[in-house]
A and B are shown apart, each in its own frame.
Chain A
Amino acid sequence: MRLKKPAITVLDWVLLAVILGFLTYVVYRLFFALNYKWNWAVIPTYLLRFDGETQGWKANILLEGFFTTIKLSVWATLLAALLGFAIGLCRVSPRLFLRMTGRTYVESIRNTPPLVLVFIFYYFVSDQLLALAGLEELARAATGTGRTLLAFFFAEPNLINQFFSGVLTLALFQGAYIAEIVRAGIQAIDTGQWEAGKSIGLTRWQLLRRIILPQATRIMLPPLAGEFINTIKWSSIVSIISIQELTFQGLQVMASTHAAIEVWLTISVMYLVPCLGLSLCVRRLERAFAGEDRAGQTVPQFPSY
Chain B
Amino acid sequence: MKPIQSALLTIIFGIAALCIGSNATAATPQQELAAASTIEAVKQRGVLKVGMDIFQPWAMKDKTGKLIGFEIDVATRLAEDMGVKVEFVPTAWSGIIPALLTGKFDVIIGGMGITAQRALQVNFSNPYDYSGMGIVAHKTLAAGFDSLESFNRPDVQIAVKLGTSAAAAAKKFIPKATLRQFDTEPQAYQELRNGKVHAVVGSAPRPAFEAVEYADSLFLPIKGTFTQEPIGFALRKGDPDSLAFFNSWITIVSMEGWLKERHDYWFAGKAWAGMVE
Contacts and interface: CB of A to CB of B under 8 A. Distances in A.
Contacts of B63: 45-46, 49, 60
Contact of B49 (A41, A158, A260): A158
B64 A49 contact: yes
Contact of B184 (A37, A42, A51, A255): A255
Interface residues of B, number: 38
Interface in A233-263: 239-242, 244, 248, 251-261
A36 B37 CA distance: 49
Given A255-B55, A256-B56, A64 B102 contact: no
Given A255-B54, A255-B184, A260-B187, A34 B194 contact: yes
B47 A37 contact: no
A46 B64 CA distance: 7
Given A242-B95, A255-B185, A260 B190 contact: yes
Interface string A55-70: 0000011001000000
A41 B104 CA distance: 35
A254 B95 CA distance: 18
B230 interface: no
Contacts, number: 91
Among B64, B65, B87, B276, find the residue whose CB has the most chain A CB atoms closer than 10 A: B65
Given A42-B277, A241-B95, A255-B56, A260 B186 contact: yes
B102 A257 contact: no
Given A49-B64, A241-B95, A252-B61, A35 B195 contact: yes
A161 B87 CA distance: 14
Nearest to A128: B102
B65 A60 contact: yes
Interface residues of A, number: 38
B102 A123 contact: yes
A61 B61 contact: yes
Interface string A17-54: 00000000000000000111101011001100101000
A242 B90 contact: yes
B213 interface: yes
Contacts of A64: 65
Nearest to B275: A256
Contacts of B178: none
Contacts of B177: none
Interface of B: 45, 47, 49, 53-56, 60-65, 87, 89-92, 95, 98-99, 102-104, 184-187, 189-190, 193-195, 213-214, 217, 276-277
CB-based closest 4 A-B pairs? A255-B54, A256-B60, A260-B186, A35-B193
13 contacts: A35-B217, A60-B65, A131-B103, A158-B89, A241-B92, A241-B95, A242-B92, A251-B54, A252-B90, A255-B186, A258-B185, A260-B186, A261-B190
Given A240-B92, A257-B276, 9 more contacts: A64-B65, A162-B89, A254-B186, A255-B54, A255-B55, A255-B56, A255-B60, A256-B54, A260-B190
